[in-house]
Structure 1
């Protein structure tokens, strides 16, 4: 409901400026749970989000840098053998999450 109201009041997103984004950005790493997993939550500004998207697109592409597959190419996609990358992608069972 709040998001829909904001879309009507500020359709161009101009109510938020860089100072608001700087004030609201944050990152929390919570305590590990029983499985030793830690929840990560936060708010990223547009620049940090774009950097993260680029990093994940390059380094977390299916078939690349898979620690569970010793034959997975490491590094960036441009450095990988295309045939090895295709084969590794077929063995890559990691989710986007």
Structure 2
């Protein structure tokens, strides 16, 4: 994509694992992250790879909490409880080294 569209200045990835692959490819292509192109992941699992460079900016959806809530709803449903209502849990952007402000 970045070879065909060199004007691209940011890539949002559906997971941190995919974002890591994008970072490696950009490095191989000689693209400067984050100054020429920013990369952001989604799930904040790359947080455990603190030694990786650049450290990846990511969306943290607090997946452990979401999993725990989903598990409680599942067990309640199995036990004949009321169906769960719709719930919203905010995510947060965890800024690290793979993104830079525009300008």
Is this a same-fold pair by TM over 0.5?
A: no
Task: Flag the structure with larger Rg.
Answer: 1
Higher relative contact order (CA 8 A, sep 6+): 2
Pick the structure with more helix per residue: 1
TM-score with structure 1 length normalisation?
0.28
